[in-house]
Amino acid sequence: MLSLPARSDRISFMNPARVTVLKEGAQTTGPVLYWMSRDQRVADNWALSYAQSLALSAGSPLFVVFCLSPNFLGAAARQYEFMLAGLAQLESRLRRLNIAFKVLAGNPAEEIVRFAKRIKPGAIVSDFDPLRIKMEWRFEAAARLKIPFLEVDAHNIIPCRAVSGKLEYGAYTIRPKIKKRIGDFLDDLPPAVKKHPGEYPGEKNPPDWRRLLKSLGAAPSIPAVKEIVPGEKAARAALSSFLDQGLSKYDEARNDPNEDAQSGLSPYLHFGQISAQRVAVETVRRGDAAAAAAFLEELIVRRELADNFCLYNPFYDSPRGFPAWARETLNDHLKDAREYIYTTEEFEGARTHDELWNAAQAGMVAAGRMHGYMRMYWGKKILEWSETPEQAMRTAIYLNDKYELDGRDPNGYAGIAWCVGGVHDRPWPERKVFGKIRFMNWKGCASKFDVEKYIAGLTPGRARGG
Ligand SMILES: Cc1cc2nc3c(=O)[nH]c(=O)nc-3n(C[C@H](O)[C@H](O)[C@H](O)COP(=O)(O)OP(=O)(O)OC[C@H]3O[C@@H](n4cnc5c(N)ncnc54)[C@H](O)[C@@H]3O)c2cc1C
């Protein structure tokens, strides 16, 4: 059973509900080690600020460690390049703050234990991530180490373990819990990381980022996304630009893929290059409550609901994780004749009969992103044109995690489970193949936006209306 620290004057600046003790113990005077994983930033990072406070109180150096895991959940060179470019900026920022940054590669639990044996830390701090494999790494490392191990939720505005202790049914059940607690968490941002005293504890030269990228052996055939600049500075610029130009039209136009009304922040949020809390605070500061409401619903309620889904549902990426009514109805319609059935290769190559679907898929392959509304259509059609819901889940997750810059995220697993398995949704009128799962079609899209314009924009050589 996990516990929260009963009281600690060392975290006077932070709500103690952000911290979960994975291993009890008394901190010694060794260096403090922050195992950074999901929150790859210096600014507004609760885990880093907390780790520094522990190091300062013990008069110890501070190490930030990142462990690269080859072929992490199917990530390609595209995602690794974006992440490593952000980490390179982070390393030089930390170096100026006299904080060492060490990159390890291999099985993270083993590498962290090995590194800890070498530098003999007085305490370990990690950030929070509800994905199964990340939880397993943290729990394994904590079990093997004999020092205090503290997990800090630096990703969610209301810490995931604190907002709810169980799997939520949908936005309507988590929203009141978030509303009740948001006042305790939203306003306080972590204190800025200070220049750390003492001698620089790290290596003389920065890591060889190129060599590290090569060593990961990630599929180089999927090119980097040049239009989205990685790093904390670029993330803040993207936020400013959205607040200046996008926020006021977000409510009205966010479901139109031809409009530039979404924030485009998901890659930065995914890699933790910006804090969701910072995004929320700056949005609220704009003072336009009506414009902010729709955006904060997605940024806070939907995003934190996805973390809740992955934390409390061990089957978040398979039909076993669907609600009972959805499993039953999909089962009832398992034998329904499908008008079209495509293989994974046909989906991947955007070779379906549907130009709208193909355009969305081709756009994702080329640019590493797909508009939020089209992601729903895209996922629904994969269910409709697959032999089984199980196959549909596999295909959607494979493509999403391989091509989306923000893939391998709880939002992705929850979004795909919503499309295929009615997760966070309710039963709808029954129909072929879908049963009571919500259905989407071309006509519905055409009633919301100019479908031809969207297809023409993403299909090389396709003139509008052609
Ligand atoms: C099939 C499918 C796959 C998806 N895959 C991913 C994925 O891999 N990674 C990912 O981050 N999101 C995913 N989403 C959720 C959502 O579509 C994206 O977060 C959003 O489109 C990202 O664009 P944005 O940052 O401009 O969003 P904005 O509309 O500007 O929203 C701001 C932020 O709120 C959060 N958010 C918005 N919509 C949702 C949502 N429906 N669920 C949870 N959080 C949300 C995101 O963190 C987003 O960056 C998926 C949705 C579906 C239906």
Q: What is the pLDDT at residue 1?
A: 36
**For the CA of 407, the nearest atom of ligand 1:** 8
CA of 301 to the centre of ligand 1 (A): 12
**Ligand 1 atom closest to Cα of residue 306:** 43
Residue 230 above 50 pLDDT?
yes
> Which residues fall within 8 angstroms of residue 319, CB to CB, at 6 or more apart?
327, 330, 389, 390, 393, 420, 421
CA of residue 295 to ligand 1 center, whole Å: 11
**pLDDT average, residue stretch 418-430:** 98
**How many Å lie between the centroid of ligand 1 and the Cα of residue 95?**
33
For ligand 1, atom 48, the nearest C-alpha belongs to 266
CA 154 – ligand 1 centroid, Å: 19
Per-residue pLDDT of 104-163, as tens digits, reads 999 999 999 999 999 999 999 999 999 999 999 999 999 999 999 999 999 999 999 999
User: What pLDDT was estimated at residue 7?
Assistant: 44
* pLDDT of the residue at 466: 39
For residue 342, with 0-12 CB atoms within 10 Å meaning exposed, 13-18 middle and 19 or more buried, which class applies?
buried
Atom of ligand 1 nearest to the CA of 264: 26
| Ligand 1 center from residue 406 Cα (angstroms) | 9
- Among protein residues, the one with the nearest Cα to ligand 1's atom 7 is 412
Name the more confident of 9 and 319: 319
| pLDDT tens sequence across 378-401 | 999 999 999 999 999 999 999 999
- CA–centroid distance, residue 408 to ligand 1 (Å): 12
Which 8-state DSSP code applies to residue 351?
-
Kindly tell me the number of DSSP H helices and DSSP E strands found in the chain. Answer: 21, 6
Residue range 146-176, pLDDT digits in tens: 999 999 999 999 999 999 999 999 999 999 9
pLDDT tens for residues 280-324?
Answer: 999 999 888 888 999 999 999 999 999 999 999 999 999 999 999
Residue 70 has a pLDDT of 81
pLDDT, residue 4, reads: 39
Rounded to the nearest angstrom, the distance between the alpha carbon of 118 and the centre of ligand 1 is 40
What 3 state SS string does 67-98 have?
EECCCHHHCCHHHHHHHHHHHHHHHHHHHHCC
Question: What span, in angstroms and rounded, lies between the C-alpha atoms of 317 and 418?
Answer: 11
φ, ψ of residue 456 in degrees (nearest 5)? -60, -35
- Alpha carbons 163 and 156: distance in angstroms, whole number: 10
**Order of strands across the sheet that contains 100-105:** 19-23, 149-152, 123-127, 32-36, 62-68, 100-105
- Residue 233 and residue 7: Cα distance in Å, rounded? 35
What was the pLDDT predicted at 462?
A: 66
Residue to mutate, 160, 266, 271, ligand 1, most ligand atoms under 8 Å from C-beta: 266
Is the predicted pLDDT of residue 464 greater than 60, yes or no? no
Nearest atom of ligand 1 to the alpha carbon of 270: 11
Percent of the chain with pLDDT over 70: 96
**Average pLDDT of the residues of the chain:** 94
For residue 408, give the ligand 1 atom closest to its CA.
8
- Distance of CA 401 from the midpoint of ligand 1 (Å): 13
The mean per-residue pLDDT over the stretch 24-36 comes to 95
* Position with higher pLDDT, 130 vs 69: 130
Could you write out the DSSP letters of every residue in 426-456? -----BTTTBTS----HHHHHHHS-HHHHHH
pLDDT tens, position by position, 73-116: 777 889 999 999 999 999 999 999 999 999 999 999 999 999 99
What mean pLDDT is predicted for residues 23-32? Answer: 94
Q: Is pLDDT above 50 for 195?
A: yes
Question: Which residues have C-beta atoms less than 6 Å from ligand 1?
Answer: 254, 262-266, 269-270, 298-299, 302-303, 306, 372, 375-376, 379, 400, 404, 406-407, 409, 411-412, 415-416, 418-419
Ligand 1 atom closest to residue 305's alpha carbon, by position in its atom list? 43
Nearest ligand 1 atom to the CA of 267 is 11
Q: Which residue of 39, 263, 298 sits with most ligand 1 atoms within 8 Å of its CB, as the best mutation to test the pocket?
A: 298
pLDDT of residue 220: 67
* pLDDT the model gives residue 288: 84
Task: Give me 5's structure tokens.
Answer: 């620290």
CB atoms near residue 168 (< 10 Å): 19
Q: Between 462 and 149, name the one with better pLDDT.
A: 149
What tens digit of pLDDT does each residue of 210-222 get?
Answer: 999 888 877 667 8
**354 Cβ partners below 8 Å, 6+ apart?**
381, 442
- Atom 40 (ligand 1) nearest CA: 302
256 Cα to the center of ligand 1, angstroms: 14
Say if residues 140 and 164 touch (Cβ distance below 8 Å): no
Residue 267 alpha carbon to ligand 1 centre in Å: 10
Tell me: pLDDT of 2 over 50: no
3-state secondary structure of 377: helix
Beta carbons within 10 angstroms of residue 397's beta carbon? 22
Q: Which atom of ligand 1 is nearest to the CA of 416?
A: 1
Instruction: Please give the domain boundaries of the chain with CATH numbers for all domains.
Output: 9-155 (3.40.50.620), 163-192+231-312 (1.25.40.80), 319-458 (1.10.579.10)
Structure confidence at residue 224 as a pLDDT band (50, 70, 90): confident
Q: Sign of the C-alpha dihedral, residues 408, 409, 410, 415?
A: negative
For residue 266, the CA-to-ligand 1 centroid distance in Å is 6
Residue 415, pLDDT > 80, answer yes
Distance 60 CA to ligand 1 centre (A): 40
pLDDT in the model for residue 3: 43
Task: Find, among 335, 346, 320, 337, the residue nearest to 420 by Cα.
Answer: 320
The pTM of the full predicted model, rounded to 2 decimals, is 0.96
Residue 459 has a pLDDT of: 79
